[in-house]
Chains A and B, each alone.
Chain A
Amino acid sequence: MTVKDIIEKLDLQCLNEANLDAEVTGAYASDLLSDVMGNARSGQVWITLQTHKNVTAIASLRDLPAVIIVRGGVPDDDMLEHARDEDVCILVSQDATFQVCGKLYEILK
């Protein structure tokens, strides 16, 4: 399953086309940044409602190919700019975390 497949299957809005062909190995859902820093695994997609620049810093440091922002959240301008620099794909879902997790679990399990 690639980032591109997930965009299509979950009907996500893609804000910067990075890592579209990256293989997604799983997902990690958390809004606590140190939780993600310490426990996410490389190749996972990060599901969160956080929309600031440190999200892309952590995604890049931990080799997470994409971030899904839930509930139609709007990322800060400097987050998007940083995502372009660091090659992190920023995706937006209109669903809440629970629904995004459920849908992703179905296609990744």
Chain B
Amino acid sequence: MHYSFDIERGNFADAGQASSSVKRLLKQLGVAPPNIKRTVVALFEAEINAIAHAYGGKIDVDIDDGKIVMVVADQGPGIPNLDLAMQEGWSTASPQVREMGYGAGMGLPNIRKNTDELKIDTEVGVGTTVTMTVYFA
């Protein structure tokens, strides 16, 4: 099963829509609650990162019997230092984004903790693609 969602720059009001749809789908498919939890935490964080930092993007989700693969691809500034970005507490979020309670530098660490495979391809000035896999078994 394949699903796609669009990400609009700065559109925090719709943040979580993709995660919410995916949660509903996984519930219908009878996926175990801890795996649903891991999936939605990772997807929500990736969604927020793209909304907060990029200029737009797309989410592609593929679900089969044993796993879910989520690809969040944005056009944006890219991540100049990925090692730094993966560190808990490091953030480049704007003051407005921080005021909403984001920007604590917990997004990427949350993604890493909740996925079985994580791949981040990023190019400065071009964009970032985050590929996350959660196995249900």
Contacts and interface: CB of A to CB of B under 8 A. Distances in A.
Contacts of A34: 45, 48, 102, 104, 106-107, 110
Contacts of B41: 37-38, 61-62
A71 interface: no
Given A34-B107, A38-B110, A42-B33, A57 B101 contact: no
Interface core residue of A33, A52, A58, A60 (most chain B CB under 10 Å):
A33
Q: What is the predominant secondary structure among interface residues of chain B facing chain A? A: helix
A50 B76 CA distance: 28
Nearest to B105: A34
B130 interface: no
Contacts of B114: 38
B12 A53 contact: yes
A58 B44 contact: yes
Contacts of B33: 42
Contacts of B119: none
B45 A42 contact: no
B106 A38 contact: yes
Given A54-B15, A54-B16, A78-B13, A61 B44 contact: yes
B16 A33 contact: no
Contacts of A35: 104, 106
Contacts of A57: 15-16, 19-20, 44
Contacts of A58: 16, 44
A21 B48 CA distance: 32
12 contacts: A34-B102, A34-B104, A34-B106, A38-B113, A48-B101, A54-B48, A57-B16, A57-B19, A60-B20, A62-B41, A78-B13, A86-B20
Ranked nearest first, the 9 interchain pairs of A and B with the lowest CB-CB distance are A57-B16, A34-B106, A33-B101, A38-B110, A32-B104, A61-B40, A50-B101, A31-B101, A32-B101
Interface of A: 31-35, 37-38, 42, 48, 50, 52-54, 57-58, 60-62, 78, 86
